[in-house]
Structure 1
């Protein structure tokens, strides 16, 4: 039996610093074997840069997943050549940097990490349900974990049920609010609709409250910045049989 930790969207320098402070202790306390971190908002301001990705790796991430802000920082597109970072696999093929699948070699076993993005209220990418079918055909490990970066809870739920028994885990990201529906679908697939975030807790999804409220009040453009104040860390821990790719337990964690 192995144990995987998935950390939700890390927001800005504050989120990176808090992850650096807490992740080592979490891994030791829970005996974590593999750590996946969503880093698409880890750069100060938005997106992901070489510097923020390096912080996540130094903090203890084995694989970094992303989402709709993956390519926001054009000066850092070269990071997607690294084996430790994935971008949504359903970006159109041809001309898109990086890969939507990474396989982590753990010696006695391997783990595939797939990044997908939803299309409901999101960018019109390729159909993620069709894409995942093709991706699974090419994998030779039973241990498959999917970061489904999506807005609509219905689309995330549908993906979880679609992949039941076919992958080891499906983790929803993007909305930054941890949901309380963690479960093992079909006695096989760990699932949660949204893992949550890492960053300032008293905020609007990690950014300053004032400008966000003003945007909704007046519908005028505003400048967002990472909020200040105490941070929290949201994640999930999954126990899985690495020989069968079958999850047995999933727990939410919140570290304040």
Structure 2
């Protein structure tokens, strides 16, 4: 038996190394798979799309904000993995009645690395976690060399339409934007604020508008509507997973960012 602390400072007592894990976070589901924990993973959400085959082999217990507690209880888990941003904190009392529940809280690159290493330690996958972290850090350091010569560009990163919502400060996405030398015109706002697009010039008139592939399905008409309120911006349909999925998805993110910058250079 051991007591650990999750990323929001809660103490959790584990009787043994968890062998029946439920993940309520898509990016962390992928991480568990890449830490060689597919057999231990027994339940996931309907939004856990990587790797794709898990939706056919694991029990779907609902979404990220609303889960079926009876389905979770029936699976008899010994560890439930949540995230402060992805999941509703109000679910915690019910989840804790079923199994020890770990809440991650990732807003920086270092917190993402810490999560990988901590789960590796808790779930007896230290070697796999260490190897993954080394690969991610290698990719990141290589990208830092690549980005040195790139110009700073003013960017607005949209996540929702009508109401229009963007990425502000205190988010993992904003940290990834900073790494890309994207100056977030809404960085003075917290988290995911609602904005008026007719004020986008006043807020900073971005060089680039990124419309995220998740959680909202942006279309051409949304791009055109935003563009009508800017002077000169280039609109990009961005891969939201690459900007927001902390965990093993970061292995792919830095190569994606390189291609994104090459695409932007062709427009400026």
TM-score (norm 2): 0.32
Q: Which has the larger radius of gyration?
A: 2
- The structure in which a higher percent of residues are helix is 2
Q: Which has the higher contact order (CA 8 A, sep 6+)?
A: 1
- The structure in which a higher percent of residues are strand is 1
TM-score (norm 1): 0.33
